[in-house]
Amino acid sequence: MRVGVVTFPGSLDDRDALRAVRVAGGDAVSLWHAERKLRHVDAVILPGGFSYGDYLRCGAIARFAPVMEAIVDAAKDGLPVLGICNGFQVLCEAHLLPGALIRNDRRKFVCRDQVLRMHNASTPWTSSYRDGQEIVIPIKNGEGGYVADERTLDELEAEGRIVVRYAGDNPNGSYRDIAGICNEAGNVVGLMPHPEHAVEALTGPGSDGLGFFQAVLGAAA
């Protein structure tokens, strides 16, 4: 089971994402932004960081990277894709997910352990959790406020496409406390918090994030 992790210029969390895949028992494969090749991976992770320096808008330039053309095509054919933080922003800019991420309403970069509530445990990335489960994983972003028009928000809600919500204090002003969403088919998931930073007790608040990486191994097996 091969899980690819894309490195863009300015990606920060690609190493942690690769490591999380290995900790979960998968075969971690580095993908390079300038190549169209997906190297026969069974799933792809777009990691956190500041691709292209966040120039123009977060994720706006990364969307046009050669590797993204291949990922957009493969995602439409059902390839599981997970966007974490900057990766979520890239997925929105690439129109694989609706809405956009804007500057936090409190105007501060937020870095803390965050309680999330699972709302859709049926995606290939979340099937190792159960609906309603609360998990703690780190969040660290300056532009993590999820916004979309009312109709889109109603659709996401009605179709069960809100995957995780912030429990308790909303850290960034995201509409309807949205921390993560998925596409209509469920194979493309984006979230602002960082499950790859919570795969081992030694380096994270716990191992609550490991389930994302274990789930996809089961889903694609």
Active site residues: 85, 194, 196
How many residues bind to other proteins according to rule CB under 8 A?
Answer: 20
- Tell me the backbone φ, ψ of residue 72, rounded to 5 degrees: -60, -45
Question: Of the ranges 105-113, 114-122, 177-185, 193-201, which one interacts with other proteins (CB under 8 A)?
Answer: 105-113
* Binding-site member from 35, 69, 73, 105 for other proteins (CB under 8 A): 105
* Identified binder of other proteins from the candidate list 173, 176, 205, 220, rule CB under 8 A: 173
Residue ranges in 8-47 that form contacts with other proteins under rule CB under 8 A: none
Give the residue with the Cβ less far from other proteins, 6 or 94.
94
Three-state secondary structure string covering the chain = CEEEEEECCCECCHHHHHHHHHHHCCEEEEEECCCCCCCCCCEEEECCECHHHHCCCCCCCHHHCHHHHHHHHHHHCCCCEEEECHHHHHHHHCCCCCCEEECCCCCCCEEEEEEEEECCCCCCCCCCCCCCCEEEEEEEECCCEEECCHHHHHHHHHCCCEEEEECCCCCCCCHHHEEEEECCCCCEEEECCCHHHCCCCCCCCCCCCHHHHHHHHHHHC
Query: Over the range 51-77, which residues count as b (16 or more CB within 10 Å of their CB) and which as e?
Result: bbebeeebbbbbbebebbebbbebbee
Q: Which residues, listed in sequence order, are joined to residue 52 by a DSSP beta bridge?
A: none
Among 47, 48, 87, 98, binds other proteins (CB under 8 A): 98
Residue 53 makes contact with other proteins by CB under 8 A: no
Contact between 206 and other proteins (CB under 8 A)?
no
Give the shortest CB-78-to-other proteins separation in angstroms: 24
56/131 with CB nearer other proteins: 56
Q: Which is nearer to other proteins, 57 or 165 (CB)?
A: 57
Q: Is 176 in the site for other proteins (CB under 8 A)?
A: no
- We find the least distance from the C-beta atom of residue 69 to other proteins, in angstroms, to be 14
Contact status: 148 vs other proteins (CB under 8 A): yes
Tell me: does residue 104 bind other proteins (CB under 8 A): yes
Query: Any contact of residue 93 with other proteins (CB under 8 A)?
Result: yes
102 binds other proteins (CB under 8 A): yes
Residues interacting with other proteins, by CB under 8 A?
56-57, 60, 64, 92-93, 98-100, 102-107, 145, 147-149, 173
